[in-house]
Copies of this chain bind each other. A is one copy, B any other.
Amino acid sequence: MGRALLVSAVVTALLLGSALFPVISVNADEGMWLLNDPPRKHLKQKYHFDLTNEWLERAQKASVRFNNGGSGSFVSADGLIVTNHHIGADCLQKLSSKDKNYLHDGYYASTRDKELHCPDLELNVLQSIEDVTARVNEAVKPDLTPAKAFAARRAVLAAIEKESLDKTKLRSDVVTLYQGGKYHLYRYKKYTDVRIVFAPEQAIAFFGGDTDNFEYPRFNLDICFFRAYEDGKPAHPAHFLRWSPTGPREGDLVFVTGHPGSTNRLDTLAKLLHRRDKTLPYWLNRLRSQEALLTQFAGRGPEQARMSQKDLHRVANSRKAVSGQYQGLLDPAIIRRKTDEELSLLAAVKVKGDAAKHKALQDALAHIEEAEKTFAAFEREYDLLERGDAFDSELFHIARHLVRMAAELPKPNAERLREYRESALESLKFKLFSPAPIHPELEKARLANSLTFLAENLGGSHPRVVKIMGEQSPSARAAELIDGCKLADPAERRRIAAGGAKAIEDSTDPIIRLVRLVDEDARALRKRHDDEVEEVERQANAQIARSRFEVLGTAIAPDATFTLRLAFGVVKGYRVDGLDLPFATTFGGAFERADKQAHREPFVLPKRWLDAKDKLNLNTPFNFVSTADTIGGNSGSPVLNREGELVGINFDRNRHGLVRNFVYTDEQARHIAVHSRGVLAALQTLYDAKALVKELTTN
């Protein structure tokens, strides 16, 4: 259907008073809802469930954000936290060495003195939300140039956060919602003394590996227990979730509270097409390049496999997720739906009769289309130099922070690059001075590969490439950079950070020199992006959001922003390729899957499982699915029942859910969780984790 025809169909429907905008109505159980604007009415009407303030407060304050990209929840009065193994993997990897591979072998601290301290893990628990939209908008006058508007906005955000931090001592972040439609101030209690209590073997946590990732049926004990400490003692959180010994049943209403990372459901069609044709093909190429490199690196030997294990999983997981996104945008049905949504909004605004508002919406859409075109001209260089795709090295990113901190910290808070604003410094330094090991061999391989990728994208004779390579091949250049760098030592980082601009100027560290060599170019690209793309789009999106609010109110949740959200859905299976998949899998299914895969990697069950097969009740539920709306970042989120008990730990979504970046459907798309009953059974029967089981069951 052509655009014009579609518009008139929609407008006709409107004029005839037919059901209002089916294409922009809230779809079934869609939504990653704000905790301060939850879907009480929908829950009441459809599920006869009263979302009480008490229920909500407990869920909120028992939910935990893992700042390395995941979610979790308190499950005891003594600060015990459950999340996914693949969220704990970062810490497990950092604590491992040639002789102890906790990531691969798992770990259990049978007593508290054996709990292992994570070197750089920060957890956040949301305490309050405050709407600061009016203050932000007030500070950004409508007649400013985009560059001045960007600066004014940056200044007011930094000020709000700094004031809040000073007043409350809580981590304070202003979150941009609805792509610029609203601004909310989130305040968090922070935990930085976090210790590992229990992790299973990776072979069962990630049973099926990349092959079964984003698939269902699944058989994964993808859990990891941590404990938060305060002043050297187990923390006593305000709230925690009771562990349901029975878990969910088919048809149950369940909730997921966690931190979905990012979605693009409210992006305009122009932005989605840009994403499809410019951004994602490039991402796919980059991810495949990294995956090929890491796979080869792991092949060098068992120790290299250990070093690169977590990176390889991260990259392969992204490759699969991004492929799914890309396939979604190549599906004409999805593009049609997004087109319909946009045209319906235009038609709905038009039908209200305010020509100025309709014009403003049209202009906003056009501005975004323009901004995307502008971006296309320098996006690759921006990605490579400023986002750092050309420098896939931890040492590079450490060096860049040191160089930029030296330049930014002397400036007033309002004028700094956003990541160096006063309120963010503590968390930044906590990561920057981490004693976690850095492996030069891996750094060298990754950096050589990404310098190669730089040349692949810009061409070997491009001035920026020539400048960065310094008349050397990528591998020679990477070797020179990593071999000469001293920043693997946190003490050296502290020394340079303390020395400020002088220390940077005096430094002969080759990576610091490389950062300085590219920093002017990188900053210029960033400024161009900030002023010509981000600010223009933010203003346009604010306009679109206003139009949407007028038509629909906040009946559509904002896109995900790695902040706490509430989702809900029903525990149920689905039909695919003529096959009915059950709502839950069992322990027995894991053994069957291993048989069917001829016990090849990654379908090799841990010895503990194979040996104890006879002791297990093979009908014990293992993993289950529900229709609740989740995305990456929700990993480790608690799944709650009506009573607010923990019935599962979310760890994945199926392949039908990979298009959730753009559209939610509940026909086949599901999130996947570990069943609370399965966890208890495994801990008891296989891991002999008495103290842990006791703590979970005697609350």
Which parts of A413-455 form the interface with B (CB within 8 Å)? 452, 455
Q: Are A302 and B600 in contact (CB under 8 A)?
A: yes
Is the C-beta of A16 less than 8 angstroms from some C-beta in chain B?
A: no
Q: Are B330 and A452 in contact (CB under 8 A)?
A: yes
Which parts of A322-362 form the interface with B (CB within 8 Å)? 326-327, 329-333, 335
**Closest residue of chain B to A336, judged by CB?**
B471
The answer to whether residues A299 and B211 also contact, given A285-B285, A452-B327 and a CB cut-off of 8 A, is: yes
Residues of B within 8 A of A300 (CB): 211
Q: Are B460 and A301 in contact (CB under 8 A)?
A: no
Please measure, in the bound complex, the distance between the C-alpha atom of A177 and the C-alpha atom of B474, giving whole angstroms. Answer: 34
Residues of B within 8 A of A277 (CB): 459-461
Q: Are B296 and A210 in contact (CB under 8 A)?
A: yes
The answer to whether residues A273 and B211 also contact, given A284-B289, A285-B285, A292-B288 and a CB cut-off of 8 A, is: no
Please measure, in the bound complex, the distance between the C-alpha atom of A457 and the C-alpha atom of B285, giving whole angstroms. Answer: 11
**Closest residue of chain B to A597, judged by CB?**
B301
Q: Are B210 and A299 in contact (CB under 8 A)?
A: yes
**Closest residue of chain B to A602, judged by CB?**
B299
Q: Are B332 and A457 in contact (CB under 8 A)?
A: no
**Closest residue of chain B to A456, judged by CB?**
B281
Please measure, in the bound complex, the distance between the C-alpha atom of A399 and the C-alpha atom of B273, giving whole angstroms. Answer: 33
**Closest residue of chain B to A473, judged by CB?**
B331
Residues of B within 8 A of A329 (CB): 460
Is the C-beta of A235 less than 8 angstroms from some C-beta in chain B?
A: no
Is the C-beta of A117 less than 8 angstroms from some C-beta in chain B?
A: no
Please measure, in the bound complex, the distance between the C-alpha atom of A156 and the C-alpha atom of B351, giving whole angstroms. Answer: 72
Cβ distance A50 to chain B, nearest Cβ, rounded Å: 42
Residues of B within 8 A of A285 (CB): 285, 288, 456
Cβ distance A76 to chain B, nearest Cβ, rounded Å: 38
Q: Are A273 and B326 in contact (CB under 8 A)?
A: no
The answer to whether residues A332 and B473 also contact, given A273-B461, A460-B277 and a CB cut-off of 8 A, is: yes
**Closest residue of chain B to A282, judged by CB?**
B456
Please measure, in the bound complex, the distance between the C-alpha atom of A600 and the C-alpha atom of B302, giving whole angstroms. Answer: 8
Q: Are B301 and A596 in contact (CB under 8 A)?
A: yes
The answer to whether residues A460 and B330 also contact, given A284-B289, A596-B301 and a CB cut-off of 8 A, is: yes
Q: Are B473 and A327 in contact (CB under 8 A)?
A: yes
**Closest residue of chain B to A316, judged by CB?**
B292
Contact with B along A594-632 (1 / 0, CB 8 A): 001110111000000000000000000000000000000
Residues of B within 8 A of A331 (CB): 473
Is the C-beta of A319 less than 8 angstroms from some C-beta in chain B?
A: yes
Q: Are A460 and B276 in contact (CB under 8 A)?
A: yes
Is the C-beta of A654 less than 8 angstroms from some C-beta in chain B?
A: no
Is the C-beta of A684 less than 8 angstroms from some C-beta in chain B?
A: no
Is the C-beta of A386 less than 8 angstroms from some C-beta in chain B?
A: no
Is the C-beta of A472 less than 8 angstroms from some C-beta in chain B?
A: yes
Q: Interface on A for B, CB 8 Å cutoff?
A: 209-211, 273, 276-277, 280-281, 284-285, 288-289, 291-292, 295-296, 299-302, 305, 319, 326-327, 329-333, 335, 452, 455-457, 459-461, 469, 471-475, 596-598, 600-602
Counting from the closest, the 6 A-B pairs by CB-CB distance are A211-B299, A281-B456, A288-B288, A277-B459, A331-B473, A302-B598
Q: Return 26 A-B CB contacts under 8 Å, by A number.
A: A210-B295, A210-B296, A211-B296, A211-B300, A273-B460, A276-B459, A281-B455, A281-B456, A284-B456, A285-B285, A288-B288, A291-B292, A299-B602, A302-B600, A327-B452, A327-B473, A329-B460, A330-B452, A330-B469, A330-B473, A330-B474, A332-B469, A332-B471, A332-B472, A332-B473, A335-B460
A280-B456, A305-B600 given; name 15 further pairs at CB < 8 Å.
A210-B296, A211-B299, A276-B460, A277-B459, A277-B461, A281-B456, A281-B457, A285-B456, A288-B289, A299-B602, A302-B598, A330-B452, A330-B473, A332-B471, A335-B460
